Amino acid sequence: MNNMFQPWKMGTLEIKNRLVRSATVEGLSMDDGAPRQRLIDITQEIARGGAGLIIAGTAYISHEGRGDKNTTGMDNDKLIEPLSRLCGAVHTAGGILAAQLLHCGSTLNPEILPEKKALYGPSAMIDPVCGHPVVELSKDHILRIVDDYANAARRAKQAGFRAVQIHAAHGYLINQFLSASRNRRKDAYGGSLEHRALLLHQVYEAVRGTVGRDFPIFIKMSGYDGFPGGVEPDEAARVAASLDAMGLDAIEVSAGTPEGAKKGGWDHIIPSPFDEGSLVKYALKIKAKVRCPVISVEGWRTPLKIAKALEQIDAVSMSRPFIREPGLANRWLGGDLTPAHCISCNKCLDLIMGSGLGCIFNNRGEDKANSLSRP
Active site residue ranges: 172
| β-bridge pairing 119-121 and 19-21 | unpaired
**Other CB atoms closer than 10 Å to residue 272's CB: what's the count?**
11
What is the residue type of 145?
I
Whose CA is closest to 266, among 225, 309, 305, 296? 225
Q: What is the number of H-type helices and E-type strands within the chain?
A: 13, 15
Q: How far apart are CA 346 and CA 324, in angstroms?
A: 11
Residues in Cβ contact with 147 at an 8 Å cutoff, skipping those fewer than 6 apart: 206
User: ∠343-346-350 over CA atoms, to 5°?
Assistant: 145
Q: How far apart are CA 107 and CA 91, in angstroms?
A: 34
Run of H or E including 253: strand 250-254
Length of the chain: 375
Helix (H) or strand (E) holding 262: helix 258-262
Report the alpha-carbon distance of residue 95 to residue 49 in Å, rounded: 9
Are 127 and 85 spatial neighbours (Cβ–Cβ below 8 Å)? no
Q: Are 161 and 87 in contact (CB under 8 A)?
A: yes
Contact present, 61 and 105 (Cβ < 8 Å) = no
